[in-house]
A and B are shown apart, each in its own frame.
Chain A
């Protein structure tokens, strides 16, 4: 069944007519050309497809088009501002928190989402908050360092 959904992606209005049961992930990648959000499993088990919907970290592969009308969506492509990287992106680079890097957009978006709901997370809250984001290169040590670095910068108000 087709529908027309109107929603905002990275500050821009989008209007998409498509099958109601297509996932937001497919539409972002195939219709809107936003391939920064990754497909990892299609079943909500790896969080490579994490985006923010109305400020909350959500798995785009588990979100269908009949759920996005009127919502504000943020993807990895919208995070840097006029070429200046977001502090979380800076922290991932500073800590070398990437090997193949395929999980990184989802990790970064999950971190941004975590900071929105918990501006000053402890180390344990960071681990718990990111636990569903998988990295098969298993670069978890540097990712944790990156998120802690970004959290520290937030705490210090830098």
Chain B
């Protein structure tokens, strides 16, 4: 049974979210999924292909029918999506979305996520699940509810308009008659179902939400607290062995020779060399690691010269390519010449790692020429392509399954472990589990790009901003456009030749661009003796951004707390705000300077607005998570490297936030039921670093212009 319904999806890729291709190029040497769900009814819905989404084409060229829902004969509804759960709460949120339109209890719903045998509604990136996938699933579910009503109306010769659905059952039928989703799935109604549900079925207005909009707890919470949930690194297959991969001696090093003889002679150990890839399998990960480590001692490498983190920012500026994307409004050059006062500053941003709690992991299993891989990735379809391309097999023979994964933060758009496991499993002729170590994750996973940002501002005689220039070297263009009203603006993002592999991150380049802009706004305010809040408001007409800024400062008690300091103080307050991915964030921070010159973040207040709130408890948790993760990038997180090697590939030396670092936190969730919901897992991070840097300036009268701030006393407090 096919029920066409057209849904447009489009996500504009950020530079670093773009596909970079497989990790390995090996030298030469689809099955039906829905059937496994058992008897029942399959509802297919037209979805544009993910390829067309990435290419930016419309749905009319791309629509293809994909199996979106399965209704079991027991009435259990399974919803399928390629979106994945990496901690942002999408499993619960999408279940709410489906339950609210189907009128089925949460407990009667299953969500199959991240399986390439299901529909491809794109990867999990850019905070797109809320604005794109929630409506897509709601529309499919609303259409299915209408199908239930129409079928019941035909079966009992009543008006569909007089019927409704409650808890999966049709209400308003003649006395003694019953009809439910289970009946819809039974064979009896096969004939009646041979009609298409009209597209354009209405979904509920926010005022009528009864599941969305409520704090439904994590739907698989019991599996998580009991350790029963199987993350990618927990997947076990019959006959599975463990794999370890040899890593290059340094970035870009080429393997000249290695002796695999001893490993090959070891019972139960398999050693593979395929181009630059060298891997080992054994019955335990310990034995695989021993084989790998012994072989590594015989390896000879040629290592290229590499830039070190100490010379990084000079390097990036020097290696800017000709490719850049300037955007202009008014005439900034002329305005700077006419300005009463001009300020110019440079801000430096370090490379940082996502460091999810679960390092990359995959299990690969071959059945003849069919390959199945379980792995933790935000991009199941890309991983499938990577596998097909690097193993030189047709895509149709590859299935990728992403179990709910231990953290992503934009750091798992790639499929390195999947390709490694698949290559080893082909050799071992057994399923292989490859789990990266923490050191591998720190060293060989891609990084949030480092950057150099030049900002200039021109003020008129009354202290009004009349000219603005913002140039980002390397770290990306997200949030490079200022939200402030400035008549003459130039912004430019310059691509650079960079030493480390870079990719997406939580809010990506906006963490850097907002840090630079909001720090610089503070500098301009100070240069005109203005209250940083008043200075911003004077240049801000965007109503939604004003609202969060006012909400945060009111809760924080900014008025009365801020005064101009002319000497060093022991405490300071700062603020920052910004827009990213359609949502609005404003932060206030209070810091205290210790007698030794180090400082502590005492309090953070953040106001956040992302349209109509779909799950208040999860939203609060995401904002709090962003605030604390933001403390890491602001204060301590920094990838240091020299001669092509990481210097701090460990939680010992790469300091991430801990319980003791948690300040007093208050969140203000601004609900806008009149506006469409957008994602919230990323944007709340953007204002933390500048708010802290501005608070430090307020207290210490000295300006921080690089991230991290390197407050050394935070180390192992």
Contact = CB atoms under 8 A, between A and B. Distances in A.
Nearest to B355: A136
Nearest to A45: B651
Interface in A74-98: 75-77, 79-80, 85, 89, 92-93, 96, 98
Contacts of B437: 42
Interface stretch (B106-114, B117-125, B655-663): B655-663
B665 interface: yes
A144 B657 CA distance: 14
Given A33-B236, A96-B617, A140-B659, A101 B651 contact: no
Contact of A102 (B215, B222, B358): B358
B662 A42 contact: no
A42 B284 CA distance: 15
B407 A136 contact: yes
B234 interface: yes
Contacts of A30: 242, 284-285
B435 interface: yes
Contact of A22 (B233, B284, B355, B627): B284
Nearest to A88: B225
Contact of B226 (A79, A140, A144): A79
Nearest to B290: A19
B629 A100 contact: no
A100 B226 contact: no
Q: Name which of A29, A41, A100, A143 has the most chain B CB atoms within 10 A of its CB.
A: A100
B629 A132 contact: no
B665 A77 contact: no
B89 interface: yes
B357 A40 contact: yes
Interface string A3-37: 00000000000000011011100100111011111
B227 A76 contact: yes
Given A85-B222, A128-B660, A138-B624, A43 B284 contact: no
B226 A85 contact: yes
A98 B624 CA distance: 12
Q: Name which of A43, A99, A131 has the most chain B CB atoms within 10 A of its CB.
A: A99
Interface in A99-158: 99-105, 108, 127-128, 130-144
A18 B46 CA distance: 54
Contacts of A75: 227
Interface in B318-354: 354
Nearest to A128: B660
A147 to B, nearest CB: 10
B231 A133 contact: no
B393 interface: no
B114 to A, nearest CB: 14
Given A40-B357, A79-B226, A99 B617 contact: no
A41 B650 contact: yes
Interface string B620-635: 0110111111001000
B526 to A, nearest CB: 31
B222 A93 contact: yes
Contacts of A128: 660
Given A36-B228, A37-B227, A38-B406, A100 B356 contact: yes
Given A39-B233, A141-B665, A136 B656 contact: yes
Q: Name which of B285, B409, B626 has the most chain A CB atoms within 10 A of its CB.
A: B285
Nearest to A132: B658
B235 to A, nearest CB: 9
Interface in B193-225: 215, 217-218, 221-222, 224-225
Nearest to B361: A39
Contacts of B228: 36, 77
Q: Name which of B406, B656, B658 has the most chain A CB atoms within 10 A of its CB.
A: B406
A105 B231 CA distance: 12
A15 to B, nearest CB: 17
A85 B225 contact: yes
B650 A99 contact: no
Q: Name which of B221, B230, B665 has the most chain A CB atoms within 10 A of its CB.
A: B221
B462 interface: no
Contacts of A38: 231, 233, 357-358, 406
B658 A142 contact: no
A34 B230 CA distance: 11
B652 A43 contact: yes
Interface in B263-304: 284-287
Interface residues of A, number: 59
Given A41-B438, A93-B217, A26 B357 contact: no
A31 B217 CA distance: 34
Given A96-B218, A101-B87, A137-B407, A41 B625 contact: no
A78 to B, nearest CB: 9
B621 A142 contact: yes
A3 B544 CA distance: 66
Contacts of A80: 226
B88 interface: yes
Given A35-B236, A43-B650, A46-B357, A102 B225 contact: no
A89 B357 contact: no
Given A131-B659, A140-B662, A142-B621, A103 B222 contact: no
A58 to B, nearest CB: 16
Interface in B417-463: 435, 437-438
A92 B650 contact: no
B656 A134 contact: yes
Contact of B225 (A26, A37, A108): A108
Contacts of B405: 100
Contacts of B89: 99
A53 interface: no
B41 interface: no
B357 to A, nearest CB: 4
A48 interface: yes
Interface in A48-92: 48, 75-77, 79-80, 85, 89, 92
Given A96-B217, A127-B660, 5 more contacts: A35-B234, A38-B357, A48-B357, A96-B621, A100-B87
29 contacts: A30-B242, A35-B230, A39-B233, A39-B435, A42-B437, A43-B652, A45-B438, A45-B651, A76-B227, A77-B226, A77-B227, A77-B228, A89-B225, A93-B222, A99-B87, A99-B622, A100-B358, A100-B407, A101-B406, A105-B225, A127-B662, A134-B357, A137-B629, A138-B626, A138-B632, A140-B657, A140-B658, A141-B624, A142-B624
